[in-house]
Chains A and B, each alone.
Chain A
């Protein structure tokens, strides 16, 4: 059970206008909207919007394993923050729960002025990559793939050449050991200047 999601806050300001009419209503449940609306500033609302969004996306990556289908239903993921009253601009870490159907997932998020990174999983490795300026989308994707294989190989005291990364038909990435063909599910997320890898 593993899933992660990152947003580059600078990139969200280029890509999205979360304040656009009806935008939030399509993404968030009434409970989540309530929490967003009571935030005292636009800056806090923005931070919360993207925090909740990454929580939903990370959970989607987990449930895809059991749902065995791809879908876009952000409101089917109900997010709760354990310390919603303490949510501030300076908040560096939050924990919460995401409910999908009858399943609850505990989720951790790391926040700063550059990114929000949310992840689900116990005893997993969660790493963050900060790309050099000007890296192309293809370069970023290759760097991320190389990194996850290298990290995984290090943990298992093998070399990177022992593994390949392959996506299954649902788009879920797996690390495959070329010797015994053992597959280990992993989760990869990119956005803007950052990517997150976990296994």
Chain B
């Protein structure tokens, strides 16, 4: 899966939880889920669950500990899919 495909996939996943449209429009690898997209912390769990469902993977607790940016989310998904 290319980075572009990953970002497109993640964009669809985070959409219901974002509270900042402008940052969402220009979402890229450096976008911060909390600072930029303003996703509330309880909804981070929904993002993790939606990623698991979408890519049919399981993300362990320590794997999502640092998943606060789009880049980090991409790394988690790539690593899991590669297995």
Contacts and interface: CB of A to CB of B under 8 A. Distances in A.
Q: Is B one of A's binding partners?
A: yes
A16 B46 contact: yes
Interface string B34-67: 0100101111111011001000000001101111
A82 interface: no
Contacts of B48: 26
Contacts of B46: 16, 20, 23
A78 to B, nearest CB: 13
B contacts with A: majority SS? helix
Contact of B65 (A22, A57, A73): A73
Nearest to B58: A22
Contacts of A71: 65-66, 68
B42 A16 contact: yes
B19 interface: yes
A23 B49 contact: yes
Contact of A72 (B38, B41, B52): B41
Nearest to A190: B40
Nearest to A73: B65
Given A22-B49, A137-B19, A72 B44 contact: yes
B40 A72 contact: no
A72 B40 CA distance: 12
Interface residues of B, number: 20
A118 to B, nearest CB: 14
Given A22-B49, A23-B49, A26-B48, A72 B42 contact: no
B68 A72 contact: yes
Given A16-B46, A22-B49, A23-B46, A73 B41 contact: no
Contacts of B61: 26, 73, 75
A15 B41 contact: no
| Nearest 7 interchain pairs by C-beta | A73-B65, A26-B45, A71-B65, A16-B42, A75-B61, A72-B44, A22-B49
Interface of B: 19, 35, 38, 40-46, 48-49, 52, 61-62, 64-68
29 contacts: A7-B42, A15-B40, A15-B42, A15-B43, A16-B43, A20-B46, A20-B49, A22-B49, A22-B52, A23-B45, A26-B45, A26-B49, A26-B61, A27-B45, A53-B42, A57-B41, A71-B66, A71-B68, A72-B44, A72-B65, A72-B67, A72-B68, A73-B61, A73-B65, A75-B61, A137-B19, A137-B38, A171-B35, A191-B40
